[in-house]
Amino acid sequence: MTSTYARFDTVFLFSRFAGAKYSPFSPSPSPSPSPTLLSSGIQLRTKPASRLQSIVALSSSSGAVVAGTDSIEIKSLPTKPIEGQKTGTSGLRKKVKVFMGENYLPNWIQALFNSLPLEDYKNATLVLGGDGRYFNKEASQIIIKIAAGNGVGKILVGKEGILSTPAVSAVIRKRKANGGFIMSASHNPGGPEYDWGIKFNYSSGQPAPESITDKIYGNTLSISEIKVAEIPDIDLSQVGITKYGNFSVEVIDPVSDYLELMEDVFDFDLIRGLLSRSDFGFMFDAMHAVTGAYAKPIFVDNLGAKPDSISNGVPLEDFGHGHPDPNLTYAKDLVDVMYRDDGPNFGAASDGDGDRNMVLGNKFFVTPSDSVAIIAANAQETIPYFRDGPKGLARSMPTSGALDRVAEKLKLPFFEVPTGWKFFGNLMDAGKLSICGEESFGTGSDHIREKDGIWAVLAWLSILAHRNKDTKPGEKLVSVADVVKEYWATYGRNFFSRYDYEECESEGANKMIEYLREIVSKSKAGESYGSYVLQFADDFSYTDPVDGSVASKQGVRFVFTDGSRIIFRLSGTGSAGATVRIYIEQFEPDVSKHDVDAQIALKPLIDLALYVSKLKDFTGREKPTVIT
């Protein structure tokens, strides 16, 4: 039976409310609850004082029925291409109001299905989840209905739409799904005025390769219809299965599959022994983001940490008005606690979607570059998953060379890749890579195909638990600082810092990069840059050793004869303007100099980077937004 409009209490606005101002928390401008016919032929039904949800109600004139069963009807919704839907290194990210615009999200989702081989989704299982930010629940309903409209067989969705990015990868792999949608803008702020994002991961749990994201973008430029199943909204608040014809939605517990995997990777008994010690203090800051859903079940319920060791542990749509980026600037609450005289022994934070991490000891910050190197150096001895040793190590190009030295000592294959976790996935699938990391607080291994914040925290707890397993009560515990300084004494210290200049005017930022590329094109080895002698300068290019694909223009590098590096990149993870990132690195083998503050040790290089780039002239910025 074809009805004039689907029986939904509330609907998400696909088309423009002609002349009306739309607010997701306000009632319809019209006092009448009756359906409103929009210019596209879509009928909108709203409920006063309700938050608009779900998908459009399709009128009989808005599109033809293209498929149907006794209990599910699929219609074709006419649409037009929308500019600006090209994905970056981590999917498509924009301000949430952009995604709530006319057909913006539906167009991208349909373009994705138009880009995939039929066998990748027809009658297949796909996973859906996100970080709990504003608009995720509404977007979940949109994605489910378009997936059903395109012939997907089953959707596995986290309860309340919640699944961390690592958990999505884990669920895809465990349940042999064909792929999955991740609703997140990662570490970017959430809320009605802030950011939202979407990306697609493939069947091994890894982010879709550029070959697919390029096709998606191409299809957004020619899209003409959206296939939508006319089914009610799914109740995401209860675990269970809902079926409509040959299509089903299973709402799953967001934690269980991921927790089971962590129990396989780590020695929980070993970690439990550390966290239950009365002389060991632990704090985890979930930053009111998705790991709040995982922290209590894992750290408290399974590993014995005290309930009050979890800070900001309730996921909120706006992250408690915070910026869920685990660094020294935005995780200030945790930093303040960890730098007290009586602060905990170990502290950590994770970001919006749970794939990044920051590790701290008492009055001691571990750089992400050092963190991945230290995990790799200790993995075989402390983590059961690596009992046979890692297969290989890799880092993103801007990340410091600390991991290189571990690979050399352990005689392991080593890879330097562009920024973007998808570049690690091919190496993992080919059996060439086990542990990898990025300086942007991303660390992970081949247990899944995403970086993994909680995994990194458990890895560090494993190292500390192993080092302290024979330490008796009353004896001094081996600390985070002890582990790091022992590593420096063995491998040397790579002083490293990153300067972020967020939301710069794109025009000036791009001109600065072009200026630097011009310098690189004329540079010669042996040239002097102050007291530094140039070894080479280039714009980093990467040829994938597995499939031969080439990624070019991945960052302007100045590498000097003493191993020091200056790197300039524009970040692709923001939703507005451009973020200029400058990376500064200098290797120091002398143990007597390892305790020097990084900003002091790197000041000559920092000054050189600002001078060479003319950053102030191009961007007008006097100071960075964030220093890491």
Give residue 72's pLDDT band: very low, low, confident or very high (50, 70, 90). confident
**CA-CA distance, 28 to 48, in Å (whole number)?**
6
DSSP letter for 384, please.
G
Q: What is the mean pLDDT of the segment spanning 143-157?
A: 98
DSSP letter for 607, please.
H
Every domain of the chain and the residues it spans: 65-253, 258-491, 493-627
Residue closest to 501 by CA, chosen among 486, 493, 512: 512
User: What CATH code is assigned to 493-627?
Assistant: 3.30.310.50
Q: What percent of the chain has pLDDT over 90?
A: 82
Place of tokens 């039976």: 1
Place of tokens 């935005």: 330
Which overall architecture, per CATH, does domain 65-253 show?
3-Layer(aba) Sandwich (3.40)
Distance from chain centroid for Cα 178: 20
Lowest mean pLDDT segment, chosen from 12-21, 434-443, 444-453, 526-535: 12-21
Kindly indicate whether the domain formed by 258-491 is annotated with CATH number 3.30.43.10: no
Write the CA distances from 19 to 13, 16, 29, 30, 39, integer angstroms. Answer: 14, 8, 10, 12, 11
Cβ neighbours around 486 below 10 Å, total = 14
**CA-CA distance, 351 to 356, in Å (whole number)?**
6
Q: Where are the beta strands (DSSP E) in 430-508?
A: 435-438, 442-445, 493-504
Instruction: Assess contact for 553 and 436: CB atoms under 8 A.
Output: no
Sign of CA dihedral 154, 156, 160, 165: negative
Secondary structure of residue 350 in the 3-state scheme: strand
Write the CA distances from 427 to 1, 416, 446, integer angstroms. Answer: 51, 11, 9
3-state secondary structure 299-325: HHHHCCCCHHHEECCCCCCCHHHCCCC
Write the CA distances from 20 to 15, 16, 23, 24, 498, integer angstroms. Answer: 12, 8, 10, 13, 44
Write the CA distances from 79 to 18, 403, 499, integer angstroms. Answer: 17, 49, 42
154-162/247-252 β-pairing:
parallel
**CA-CA distance, 412 to 541, in Å (whole number)?**
23
Reply yes or no on whether the pLDDT at 553 is more than 70: yes
Q: What is the mean pLDDT of the segment spanning 475-482?
A: 98
**CA-CA distance, 147 to 178, in Å (whole number)?**
13
Give residue 1's pLDDT band: very low, low, confident or very high (50, 70, 90). very low
- pLDDT value at position 422? 85
Write the CA distances from 556 to 418, 513, 537, 572, 610, integer angstroms. Answer: 12, 8, 7, 15, 14
- pLDDT value at position 421? 87
Q: Do domains 65-253 and 493-627 have the same CATH topology?
A: no
Q: For residue 315, what are its two tokens?
A: 């996921």
Secondary structure of residue 538 in the 3-state scheme: strand
Structural element, H or E, at residue 274: helix 268-275
Q: What is the pLDDT of residues 78-137, one digit of tens each?
A: 999 999 999 876 789 999 999 999 999 999 999 999 999 999 999 999 999 999 999 999
Q: What is the mean pLDDT of the segment spanning 152-169?
A: 98
Torsion of CA 603, 605, 611, 617, to 10 degrees: -70
Secondary structure of residue 536 in the 3-state scheme: strand
**CA-CA distance, 204 to 172, in Å (whole number)?**
7
Q: What is the mean pLDDT of the segment spanning 140-146?
A: 98
Place of tokens 């890579």: 433
Q: Name the residues annotated as catalytic.
A: 186
Lowest mean pLDDT segment, chosen from 76-90, 133-147, 278-292, 531-545: 76-90
- The model's pTM is 0.86
